[in-house]
Amino acid sequence: MLADQVQRYLQERCPVSRVRQVLEQPPRFAEEVWQGLAELGLLGTAVPESYGGTGAGYAELCLVAQQIGRHIAPVPFGSTVYLLTEALLQFGSEAQKQQWLPKICSGEVKGALATTEALEQLAQAQVHASVEAGRLSGEKLMVADGSIADVYLVLAKQNDQLGLYLVPADASIQTSTVDSVDLSRDVAHVTFDNTPAELLHEQGWSGLQALYQRAAVLFAFEQLGGAQRALEMAVDYAKERFAFGRAIGSFQAIKHMLADMFVAMKLAESNCYYAAWALDNNAPELPLAAATARVGATEAFQLCARDNIQVHGGMGFTWEFDCHLYYRRSNFLALEIGGLSEWEDRLAQAEFRNEVKAFIKASAPHYLAENLQKSGFGNTNTGEYDTLEEAKKWQRTKAEAGWACLSWPSEYGGRDASPIENVIWAQEEGVYGRLSGTFIIGQGMCAPTLMAYASDTHKQRYLPKLASGEEVWCQLFSEPHGGSDLAGLRTRAEKDGDEWVINGQKIWTSGAQHSDYGILITRTDATVAKHKGLTMFFLDMKSPGVKIVPIKQANGNSEFNEVYFDNVRIPDHQRLGEVGEGWRVSITTLMNERLAIGGSIATGFPEIYDLVSNLSLQGQPAIDNAAVRSKLAQWYVKASGLKNSSSRMLTALAKGDNPGPEASMGKLVAGNMMQDIAKFAIDLQGQAGLLVDPEIAEGAARFQAMLLRSPAVRIEGGTDQILRNIIGERVLGLPEDLRADKGMPFNEIPTGSQERDQPIRLSTKLYQGLGIIPVSLKELAFNTFLLLYYNQVLGLSASYASFALLIALVVDAVSDPIVGSFSDNFRHRLGRRHSLMYAASVPFALCIYLLFSPLPAVADYLHVWLLVFALGTRLSFTFFAVPWNAMFAELSDDYKERSELISYRFAVGWIVGIVFVFSIYSFIFVASDAYPQGQLNPAHYQTFALVLSLTVFAGAFLTTHLTRDQIPYLRQPPASLRRFSLPVLWEELGLAVKNRNFRVLIFAVLASAVVGGTNQALQIYMNTYFWDFSGEQLRWTAVAVLGGLLAFFTVLPLQNLLDKKYLLVACAVSIMVVTMVPVTLRLLELAPANGTPGLVVMIVIAATISAYFGTIALIMFTSMVADTLDVQEYETGLRQEGLFNSVMTFSSKATTGAGILIAGLIIDHVIGLPQGAQRAQITPEMIFRIGIVDAYVVPLFNVVWLSLVLKYSITRDEHTQIQQVLARRRMPDSLES
């Protein structure tokens, strides 16, 4: 109960968005969250009631701590509750407890523990802060929550005796906030200057250790909560992310990683619960239990937070995703409490080394050495100098002296050096080698590909400038939804004469913003297996149509970029290799990429060796510590292995061989080693390890930069898991993983969903629009002819007929959300939409035929026949219409293109409507002597039923079949989405109606459908009796469809002028006015007489204007529903097109049925029309009443739903921002080098 209460509170008051606000906008503290915790009594969970607490106990406090960790709450819970409160409870006098504990429990006082005075692990000899005559002076470093504390718990000396002191905050205290690895938590240096201090515990050192022992259990639970949430994030993503044709969670490598995370978390959980029992009972086992829980939880949180990023791939390393927040907090909590011989040169090598040393001494930019030494990983520090310019200058200096690209042939700017000479150069270049990062991709990856596949002319032109640094190159491989599945790329190259036209997008491209040229892999044939339809090119990055957008990463830098290609033209002579041989060419690049990355990655071994050689650990040199020496030995073996492996591969290159898949090994080992070393080095430095400012703590900043950069190292150039597959399959000969897409033509490969890189084709818009044919003809049949047919032709009571239609509509409406949820969750090779649309086409057409063709034998049971086949028609139609409507929302995310799609839909509908209505009145409902109004002739309805059923079948089948090629672009149900069930439906409905804009639209639909249903049912009576139209005259009303066609051409310009809701309201008001005009003219005797051509012209003009405004209104409303879906996905992560559209149609159908029932009651009881009446039986009073109700009474109720529409709040700008976020979320899981 308590844990659930805390979780609900933090979910509401401390979402990740609030954590981000604290992260990005100091102060690093959420005051309102803290006060809410106090109001719930959580700050005093373990404090006795006599001191203002709840006295619940430590077991309950552990559960609270777990939720604090799960939500990474930016509050001083540890400093205040775990440390200060515990110190008061364990060591405080009664007076001290009475003074401070109630204020802590009420949230009035926040605490901070101040112990450290040097940038290394805490030791007794390190403490110099002193107390004399009750006043404290001294400086404390890296005090967690130091700048927001109201009282400090300080470790200080008095007469050479360490003690713990309570120090209330006052004006004599100076604080200076410093950045730590977790920017959502406050850390400060605190200076005390003759500040009043009160002794809490005279045995300061032993008291501090006892305090840490108890607090360790509480910190462990906070870490456990963070670990559990990080694991959940990783599991959810693995279920939803698709690569190689299936969810990545189905791959063994990912499964194993997640299993390791789960095991670590569960072991930590067991240890934590044992420690909670020991703490709650003050058991003798507490010291061991607390240590076990602390170590296990620390390792579990760091493992889960680290590998959560790994599972998310490239997106996990972006600032926008939440993974790095848990990664930062895991390293913050881990610290909150708590040499070897080189190679002997041979004589020849020594001579070469001396030559290198002389050049470095004479020519290196020594003025940069100090800053370069402070460089963080992924961030070259050149101080006041421009990094790119300095890098180019040093590269040019090396090239002019013959020291650039040593192993290259001299004709291309190299030196023809041996592999070992490369190694010696790297050793002697030292920190200046950090300037070479800009050129690693071009020289290490692009150049070998050019050497192997470019023409001699191109080699002579580009390679020397690449070696000298005059031109920078990048490689353009990874794509959205491609990730590690490189062969799944979708950037297209189409031949146009002697040029290729490129369209598409690349992502994770390192250094693109600085590059002059790049090598680019594209798809030139989508009809063959995905590896066979690729072609490689190189291009000028300044070409027209190339757009580069930097990506902000989790460490705050922007090394990687998105690159867009919009009709970029590349000459055919810049093609590398043959057309369709791009995969073979790319293998050369990839193997050299992994060699370059693996050979150039700084593993961190020299830095860790330097650190432990100069660091004091418990009063002794750290390098003398047995545990440290053990770690150094392990890393030295790996570092030496990497050097030797690199040398062997360089030898292979020198012989003209390409590096094999073994090149993957270097990057795999180096990336993990860097991360392990960074973590170890930070831990050795104690709280100093938190700092990221090199001016304050150079050593700590170096390893923090290494820690934050290392996740990207393990992803770029191929994730660890992909590299393990390469080694297993291509080196060890193990069987390949199961690949659903192996051998399939690229354009038939199933994906989670593809992203479009160009606008939707005109043909697709028209094909999707064909679905409006069965929709509009079904509406015509039900709303125009069905009530008239059963009431006036067959003689069934209007009230009963309308009531039967209401039942059918309500049952149909109830089925809509069920079918919508079923469709959202449905899995089939034809997708979750098309499979249902195919299945519904025949039953739908058959039912609508029988609805208008009752058998003579059922003449006495017409009410049963009507109900049965009205239900059958509506239900079978639902299985077509709900997926068809949902498909529209999935076809495009673009604000304007959606409106254009709907425009084409209504254009098709109106065109078919003209032809159909004109045809049935011209050729089916033909007037005769017995029936001057052909629509009242019962003999005509069987032909009408046959034509109607064939037309709706053709429309349903064709729109389904002709849009099959769009299935890959439609959102597929994620693997984590539960199968359909009524409880699931109910839960999903609950999520949907929490969306405010969705609620607005639902109520608007309810109100408008009542009005529309009543109006539609009355319309045929108006045309038949008020205007006295014959069938020949009624057919001309089909011309009104031209208004809909005009709307098709003008809706987009109008949408540019007004937001959707205002355009919708303006159109609806216009329709109300136009509807009243003809009847008003008739009542004023200004309208042409019935039966005259002038009357037909007047009604057709009014209907055309109404159709124009009505079409625009429908387009806007449908588009608003689709935009609301995007907001729902943004807020909840769910795509519920089927459910949203079905709830809308549910509302519409249920209330349309109510409107039809109202119309039936009006016909029977207000107007008084007899069933099966002849024209002569209709009196002028009846006709007058029809006109008044239809033109004035019913339209006035439109005001209700229009007032609701005005409450819709999604604007064009807001929708654009949401789409940008959603596009980022759908990006892939691999970084491009």
Select from 336, 371, 392 the last residue of a domain: 336
Return the pLDDT at 337.
78
Q: How many domains in the chain?
A: 5
Return the pLDDT at 156.
92
- Domain assignment present for 589: no
Q: Which of 242, 668, 254, 314 minimizes the C-alpha distance to 478?
A: 314
3-state secondary structure of 176: strand
If asked whether residues 421 and 402 sit together in one domain, one would say yes
Return the pLDDT at 223.
93
Compute φ and ψ for 923, nearest 5 degrees.
-120, -15
- Domain assignment present for 532: no
**How many angstroms from the chain centroid is the CA of residue 183?**
23
If asked whether residues 826 and 913 sit together in one domain, one would say yes
**634 within 8 A of 683, measured Cβ to Cβ:** no
If asked whether residues 280 and 301 sit together in one domain, one would say yes
**279 within 8 A of 217, measured Cβ to Cβ:** yes
Where does 829-980 have alpha helices with state H? 831-851, 862-891, 895-919, 941-962
Q: How far apart are CA 658 and CA 91, in angstroms?
A: 69
- Domain assignment present for 512: no
**113 within 8 A of 83, measured Cβ to Cβ:** yes
CATH for 1039 = 1.20.1250.20
User: Hey, which residues are catalytic here?
Assistant: 593
- Domain assignment present for 1006: yes
- Which tokens belong to 737? 């993983």
Return the pLDDT at 195.
93
CATH for 618 = 1.20.140.10
If asked whether residues 195 and 228 sit together in one domain, one would say no
If asked whether residues 247 and 113 sit together in one domain, one would say no
CATH for 403 = 1.10.540.10
If asked whether residues 373 and 314 sit together in one domain, one would say no
Cis peptide before 27 (omega within 30 of 0): yes
Q: For residue 391, what are the domain limits?
A: 339-471
If asked whether residues 166 and 299 sit together in one domain, one would say no
Averages of pLDDT over runs of 10 residues in the chain (1233 residues) are: 83 87 83 90 91 90 92 91 92 92 93 85 80 91 90 91 92 88 88 93 87 90 93 85 75 75 76 85 79 81 89 82 87 68 33 69 80 64 78 85 80 72 67 76 83 88 88 85 66 90 86 88 82 88 90 71 90 90 75 48 68 71 71 59 51 50 59 79 71 58 71 68 58 52 56 59 84 84 76 78 74 72 71 85 92 84 86 87 77 67 72 77 82 82 91 91 80 51 60 73 75 74 78 70 73 78 86 86 86 85 85 80 77 61 53 64 75 68 82 81 82 77 59 41
If asked whether residues 303 and 450 sit together in one domain, one would say no
What would you report as the CA-atom Rg of the chain, rounded to the nearest whole angstrom? 38
Return the pLDDT at 345.
33
Q: Work out whether strand 151-158 and strand 111-114 pair parallel, antiparallel, or are unpaired.
A: parallel
Where does 161-316 have alpha helices with state H? 204-240, 252-280, 286-312
If asked whether residues 381 and 319 sit together in one domain, one would say no
CB atoms near residue 46 (< 10 Å)? 24
- Which tokens belong to 690? 């938190």
Q: How far apart are CA 12 and CA 1160, in angstroms?
A: 49
If asked whether residues 312 and 376 sit together in one domain, one would say no
Select from 158, 176, 202 the last residue of a domain: 202
Return the pLDDT at 611.
75
Select from 438, 471, 504 the last residue of a domain: 471
Q: How far apart are CA 194 and CA 170, in angstroms?
A: 11
**1229 within 8 A of 484, measured Cβ to Cβ:** yes
If asked whether residues 1086 and 959 sit together in one domain, one would say yes
Element (H, E) at 510: none
Burial profile 477-494: b = 16 or more Cβ within 10 angstroms, e = fewer:
bbbbbbbbbbbbbbbbbe
- Rounded to 10 deg, the angle between the 582-600 and 626-654 helix axes is 140
- Residue 148: CB partners within 8 Å, gap ≥ 6? 27, 28, 29, 76, 110, 112, 186
Q: How far apart are CA 360 and CA 797, in angstroms?
A: 103
- Domain assignment present for 299: yes
User: ∠ CA 892-1007-910 to the nearest 5 degrees?
Assistant: 50
In the 8-state DSSP scheme, what is residue 523?
E
Q: How far apart are CA 619 and CA 625, in angstroms?
A: 11
Q: How far apart are CA 483 and CA 243, in angstroms?
A: 7
Compute φ and ψ for 489, nearest 5 degrees.
-65, 155
Give the type of residue at 259: A
- Domain assignment present for 1038: yes
- Domain assignment present for 272: yes
Give the type of residue at 932: P
Return the pLDDT at 151.
95
**How many angstroms from the chain centroid is the CA of residue 823?**
22
Return the pLDDT at 348.
39
DSSP assignments along 1069-1096, one per residue: HHHHHHHHHHHHHHHTT-SPPTTSHHHH
- Domain assignment present for 507: no
If asked whether residues 325 and 343 sit together in one domain, one would say no
**782 within 8 A of 1153, measured Cβ to Cβ:** no
